[in-house]
């Protein structure tokens, strides 16, 4: 049999939402007993089960999930079953002829030490830990491993005393010593939960402890567990946790429900963190921080992920998903909540800008590519592939739109009703929308299309002013491109926040025809048809519209706006987001114009309107963090998204030309900005100093495009004297991007200084992989052989290989195809032990159709090579086969 035939016959099967059926059995209580040893673990699971189906036609068999577990024994109501009493396959344990209710005891053996997929029970840095979402629990024991089976858990852990901390969900109810240097601890979780929220940790860890008094006066113990030498990096995480707990009480009236909340940081983790009930597991990247080792962005990231996992306690744990098609029920909602939390902790406008930036550079391409899926997908092959930006970030946009349509108060009423109706249940995204509808007496039937239709809608607007009648008519049209399996789309229900500016830049009162008076100067239009007209009356002069304020819907907006008008909006719009947006559009149009010029052999000349607009922003007295955003040009990835066929080199050259020209023309202004925003005092993670650092470092990056002695001196001075990682790494990034004498020694010095700190080394790997220099691909290949690089550690893979393939388009898409070959080699290597990380890395090859023919052929060849690999995981199979379809 040749390879393609084998793939055809063995092709993994898709699972469909339409085939959902309720579980045939339910589990009331789970009593787990773990015996942990150096070469294996023995797991005894006692399940009190009840029948959940009509038995008049006979009892259905009980089909438990289990993968890579060795079955030792099965007891039914304490009677050992003979081998003929059950069937075992690679994926299931089936027991038939069961009574109405019974106890099933299953003993299994697993090998956590050999588990490099990092799902189920595994070892990281010498500690035992778990990751069960989505389907990891079945790698620990046989179980009904689906989220609509919720049970109360008791967990006993027995291990050598060299693992002093034995932790699980809920409250510690007992512990003791045993012979032979062993000890045990028993945990009880009073809340019903699905198996994906189970967690266990056994390790030698230190912890930072604090207390939080909830709004009802209960005292909760908070603990952050880390390796001993990292204890000095836990303060910020603790501070963030307490802020998140308070915020959820104040914003949503949601209080924590157990006596203890634990966070454990581990170095080997596939994702950011996991919200297990009462015992969160975190990638150490999202816990450990001190000014010397973590950047302002890291501090922000920690605050947001700590918040996210904490918020899951209600949106995810107390109310969970009925099935994995409903993943966005908890993820979209929880991302929305963490975004709002971060916005309240710092600058709302800057937070929104960053969120939209990542939506556009990650989610929009996903929605326009072969892996496009709706926020509530209809099918999947491997659920692990659906922890996507669409489920998370577009899901959060969908929640945000409901918030915009219903208002803060209406949304809160909907949330309250959602918890009132569904606490303790496993429900669907539709249940959430129903709660919003009932609480607000609104019909969201059409709005639901956001859950079922994939693709990024495109909005076109046109304005017409009638001077005589003083009427301004705004025509808005919407369309949505076809996506795999969805050739035709129905119109969406879209909130479009907008305002109209007069020639002084002031917002004018907005009165729609038929209204007796103006309703404010910024309002939300509801677009429901494919095309709608909005007639504003009493408009004294030709206005300039400011549309989609705050990015009120996840769409692509097209409107004919001149460069002068964009510069005017950049300088005057009362909506900070739209000021930024106008600047981005202006810069984007100029850069894309240069891409065309470059291809036609024409010269690029930067027009003065733009230089002056930049100069004006630089001198404005706006929040420096916002100014830094205004001055950051659209990324190469976003610019690529704006082109039908990506011109990789053209985009890079044109963008760099604009950066360098701005630096030349505004050198003095950048130097002044650098000085004004330099702060020689002690590092503080406070909005004001974070903002100043961001603007100062942006000025430095512009100046360094000149690669002259003066800027290099300035940069080296910052690199050598910085008292914090933000400044140190900002200087090193600019050095790594220039072919200068200081580059190699600076990289070497940084490595020597931080060789003992894996998280700092991740940055060191990453910044080299993101260098724009020609030799980057070869350097990355060499770095995979560096002693500090570990292919089995996801953070290292993402930092080095991920940075090149996902964030450095001009070097990854090298015309030779070497970047594609390199990625395919690594994916195949990783797929053999960690399919979920391998599949995630593959995304960089998915959108091959966006590139020129030569690159298409090269990318496709690597996808085909991966597909032909014998024993390819279903994770990788799904991404590759859908990409090629
Ligand atoms: N819920 C986890 C995701 C884990 C997925 C593993 N394949 C993290 C989060 O969204 O909070
Ligand atoms: Zn989440």
Residues contacting residue 10 through CB under 8 Å, at least 6 positions apart: none
Say whether pLDDT at 5 is over 50.
no
Task: Say which residue the tokens 């700590």 belong to.
Answer: 306
Atom 2, ligand 1: which residue's CA is nearest?
A: 274
CA dihedral 250, 253, 254, 257 (to 10 degrees): 100
Burial class (CB within 10 angstroms; exposed 0-12, middle 13-18, buried 19+) of 19? exposed
Task: Report the DSSP pairing between strands 273-274 and 279-283.
Answer: antiparallel
CA–CA gap between residue 209 and residue 260 (Å, rounded): 10
- Separation of CA 381 and ligand 1 centre (Å): 18
SS3 71: strand
For residues 333 and 395, is the Cβ–Cβ distance under 8 A? yes
195, 275, 313: residue to mutate for ligand 1 pocket, most atoms within 8 A of CB:
275
CA distance 526 to 478: 12
The mean pLDDT value for 346-357 works out to 98
- Please give, one letter per residue, the 3-state secondary structure of 824-869: HHHHHHHHCCCHHHHHHHHHHHHCHHHCCHHHHHHHHHHHHHHHCC
Residue entry with tokens 């399919």:
835
Query: Roughly how many angstroms between the first and final C-alpha of the chain, as a whole number?
Result: 23
Give the Å distance between the CA of 660 and the centre of ligand 2: 40
DSSP β-bridge partners for residue 157:
34, 185
Q: What is the per-residue pLDDT across 307-325, written as a single tens digit (0 to 9) for each? A: 999 999 999 999 999 999 9
Helices (H) and strands (E) in the chain, counts: 30, 31
Find the ligand nearest to 332 CA. Answer: 2
Encoding tokens for residue 791?
A: 């292919």
- Which residues does 736 contact at the CB level (< 8 Å), separation at least 6? 743, 746, 747, 767, 768, 770, 771, 773
Q: For the chain, what percent of residues have pLDDT higher than 70?
A: 99
Please report, for the chain, the start and end positions of each structural domain, with discontinuous segments joined by +: 15-204, 320-452, 467-553, 561-663, 666-740, 755-885
Contact 479, 457 (CB under 8 A): yes
Helix (H) or strand (E) holding 879: helix 874-884
Ligand 1, pocket residues at CB < 6 Å: 133-134, 271, 273-275, 308-309, 312, 331, 384, 387
- Confidence band, pLDDT 50/70/90 cuts, at residue 767: very high
* Buried b or exposed e, range 782-819, using 16+ CB within 10 angstroms: ebbeeeebebebbbbbbbbbbbbbbbbbbbbbbeebeb
Q: What is the mean pLDDT of residues 658-665?
A: 98
pLDDT in tens, 379-413: 999 999 999 999 999 999 999 999 999 999 999 99
pTM confidence score: 0.98
Q: CA–CA separation, 305 vs 273, rounded Å?
A: 7
Annotated catalytic residue: which of 309, 340, 437, 636? Answer: 309
Q: How far apart are CA 394 and CA 411, in angstroms?
A: 18
How is 587-606 classified by DSSP, letter by letter? HHHHHHHHHHHHHTTPPP--
**Ligand 1: which atom is nearest the Cα of residue 305?**
11
C-alpha 271 – ligand 1 centre gap (Å): 7
Contacts of 548 (CB under 8 A, 6+ apart): 459, 496, 497, 498, 555, 557, 578, 581
Residues 6+ apart with CB under 8 A from 43: 32, 33, 34, 35, 69, 107, 108, 109, 110, 140, 141
Residue of the CA atom closest to atom 8 of ligand 1 = 274
CATH code of the domain occupying 15-204: 2.60.40.1730
- Structure tokens given for 123: 């070892």
Across the range 503-516, mean pLDDT stands at: 98
Q: Is the pLDDT of residue 163 over 90?
A: yes
Region 774-800 average pLDDT: 98
Q: Which helix (H) or strand (E) holds 747?
A: helix 743-754
Strands (E), 52-137: 62-65, 70-76, 79-80, 86-88, 92-95, 101-110, 120-124, 127-131
Sequence-distant contacts of 603-606: CB under 8 A, at least 24 apart? 604/654, 604/657, 606/657, 606/658, 606/661, 606/662, 606/665
Find the mean pLDDT for residues 567-571. Answer: 98
Residue nearest to atom 7 of ligand 1 (CA): 384
Exposed/middle/buried for 878, CB within 10 Å: 0-12, 13-18, 19+?
A: buried
- What value does the mean pLDDT take over residues 734-761? 98
Give the whole-angstrom CA distance, residue 550 versus residue 545.
14
Q: Confidence class of residue 680 from pLDDT cuts 50, 70 and 90? A: confident
Q: Is 309 a catalytic residue?
A: yes
CATH architecture for the domain at 320-452: Orthogonal Bundle (1.10)
CB 257 within 8 A of CB 170: no
Ligand 1, residue 131: give the atom nearest the CA: 6
Return the CATH number of the domain spanning residue range 755-885. 1.25.50.10
Q: Exposed, middle or buried: residue 386 (CB in 10 Å: 0-12, 13-18, 19+)?
A: buried
* Sequence-distant (≥ 6) Cβ neighbours of residue 300 within 8 angstroms: 342, 346, 690
Q: Which ligand is nearest to the CA of 837?
A: 1
Radius of gyration of the chain (CA): 28
Say if residues 728 and 686 touch (Cβ distance below 8 Å). no
What band does 681 get if pLDDT is binned at 50, 70 and 90? confident
- Asked if 15-204 and 755-885 have one fold, the answer is no
Long-range pairs for 324-327: beta carbons < 8 A, 24 or more residues apart = 324/134, 324/147, 324/380, 324/383, 324/386, 325/17, 325/20, 325/376, 325/377, 325/378, 325/380, 326/376, 326/427, 326/428, 326/429, 327/134, 327/383, 327/386, 327/387, 327/391
d(Cα 77, Cα 101) in Å, to the nearest integer?
10
pLDDT value of residue 9: 52
Q: Whose CA is nearest to atom 1 of ligand 1?
A: 274
Residue 590: pLDDT over 80: yes
Q: Which CATH architecture group holds 467-553?
A: Sandwich (2.60)
CB atoms within 10 A of CB 46: 17
């Amino acid at each position: 049999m040749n390879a393609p035939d084998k793939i055809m016959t063995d092709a993994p099967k898709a699972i469909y939402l339409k085939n959902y059926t309720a579980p045939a059995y339910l589990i009331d209580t789970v009593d787990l007993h773990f015996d942990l040893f150096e070469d294996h673990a023995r797991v005894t699971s006692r399940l009190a089960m009840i029948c959940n189906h009509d038995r008049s036609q006979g009892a259905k068999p009980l089909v438990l999930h289990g993968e890579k577990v060795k079955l030792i024994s099965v007891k039914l109501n304490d009677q050992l079953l003979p081998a003929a009493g059950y069937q075992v396959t690679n994926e299931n344990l089936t027991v038939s002829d069961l009574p109405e209710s019974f106890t099933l005891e299953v003993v299994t053996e697993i090998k956590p030490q050999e588990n490099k997929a990092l799902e189920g029970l595994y070892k990281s840095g010498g500690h035992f830990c778990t990751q069960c979402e989505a389907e990891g629990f079945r790698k620990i024991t046989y179980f009904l491993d689906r989220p609509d089976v919720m049970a109360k858990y008791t967990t006993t852990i027995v291990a050598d005393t060299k693992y002093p901390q034995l932790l699980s969900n809920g409250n510690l109810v007992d512990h003791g010593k045993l012979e032979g240097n062993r000890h045990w601890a028993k945990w009880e979780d009073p809340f019903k939960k699905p198996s994906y929220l189970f967690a266990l940790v056994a390790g030698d860890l230190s912890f930072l402890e604090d207390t939080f008094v909830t709004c009802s006066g209960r005292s909760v113990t908070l603990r952050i567990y880390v390796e001993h030498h990292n204890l000095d990096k836990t303060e910020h995480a603790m501070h963030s946790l307490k802020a998140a707990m308070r915020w959820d009480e104040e914003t949503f009236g949601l209080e924590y429900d157990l006596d203890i909340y634990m966070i454990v940081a581990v170095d080997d983790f596939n994702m950011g963190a996991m919200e297990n009930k009462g015992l969160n597991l975190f990638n150490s990247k999202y816990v450990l921080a001190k000014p010397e080792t973590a950047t302002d962005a890291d501090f922000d990231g920690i605050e947001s992920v700590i918040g996210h996992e904490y918020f899951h306690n209600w949106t995810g744990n107390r109310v969970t998903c009925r099935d994995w098609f409903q993943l966005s029920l908890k993820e979209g909602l929880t991302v929305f909540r963490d975004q709002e939390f971060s916005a309240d902790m710092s600058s709302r406008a800057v937070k929104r800008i960053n969120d939209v930036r990542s939506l556009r550079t990650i989610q929009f391409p996903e929605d326009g590519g072969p892996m496009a899926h709706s926020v509530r997908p209809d099918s999947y092959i491997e659920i692990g592939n659906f922890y996507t930006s669409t489920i998370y970030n577009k899901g959060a946009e969908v929640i945000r739109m409901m918030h915009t349509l219903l208002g803060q108060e209406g949304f809160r009423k909907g949330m309250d009703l959602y918890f009132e109706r569904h606490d303790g249940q496993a429900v669907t995204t539709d249940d959430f929308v129903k709660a919003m509808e009932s609480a607000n007496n609104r019909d969201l039937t059409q709005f639901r299309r956001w859950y079922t239709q994939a693709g990024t809608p495109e909005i076109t607007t046109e304005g017409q002013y009638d001077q005589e009648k003083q009427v301004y008519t705004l025509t808005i049209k919407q369309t949505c491109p076809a996506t795999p399996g969805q050739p035709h789309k129905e119109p969406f229900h879209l909130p479009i926040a907008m305002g109209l500016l007069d020639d002084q830049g002031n917002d004018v009162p907005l009165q729609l025809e038929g209204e007796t008076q103006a309703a404010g100067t910024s309002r939300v239009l509801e677009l429901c048809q494919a095309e709608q007209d909005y007639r504003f009356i009493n408009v004294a002069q030709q206005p300039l519209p400011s549309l989609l304020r705050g990015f009120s819907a996840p769409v692509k907006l097209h409107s004919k706006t001149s460069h002068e008008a964009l510069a005017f909006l950049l300088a005057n719009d009362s909506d900070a987001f739209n000021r930024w947006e106008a600047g981005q559009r202006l810069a984007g149009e100029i850069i894309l114009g240069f891409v065309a010029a470059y291809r036609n052999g024409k010269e690029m000349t930067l027009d003065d309107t733009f230089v002056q607009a930049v100069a004006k922003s630089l001198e404005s007295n706006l929040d420096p963090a916002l100014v830094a955003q205004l001055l950051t040009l659209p990324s190469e990835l976003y610019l690529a998204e704006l082109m039908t066929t990506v011109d990789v080199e053209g985009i890079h050259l044109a963008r760099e030309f604009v950066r360098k020209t701005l630096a030349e023309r505004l050198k003095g202004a950048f130097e002044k900005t650098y000085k004004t925003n330099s702060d020689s005092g002690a590092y503080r993670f406070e909005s004001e100093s974070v903002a100043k650092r961001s603007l100062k470092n942006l000025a430095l990056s512009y100046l360094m495009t000149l690669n002259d002695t003066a800027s290099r001196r300035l940069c080296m001075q910052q690199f050598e004297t910085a008292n914090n990682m933000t400044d140190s790494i900002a200087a090193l990034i600019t050095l790594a991007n220039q072919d200068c004498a200081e580059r190699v020694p600076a990289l070497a010095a940084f490595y020597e200084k931080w060789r003992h700190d894996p998280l700092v080394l991740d940055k060191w790997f990453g910044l080299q992989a993101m260098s724009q220099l020609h030799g980057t691909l070869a350097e990355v290949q060499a770095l995979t052989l560096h002693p500090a690089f570990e292919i089995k550690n996801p953070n290292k893979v993402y930092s080095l290989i991920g940075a090149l393939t996902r964030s450095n388009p001009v070097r990854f898409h090298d015309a030779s195809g070497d970047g594609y070959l390199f990625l395919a080699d690594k994916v195949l290597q990783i797929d053999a032990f960690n399919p979920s990380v391998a599949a995630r890395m593959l995304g960089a090859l998915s959108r091959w159709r966006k590139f020129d023919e030569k690159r298409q052929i090269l990318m496709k060849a690597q996808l085909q090579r991966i597909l032909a690999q014998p024993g390819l995981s279903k994770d990788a199979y799904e991404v590759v086969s859908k990409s090629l379809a």
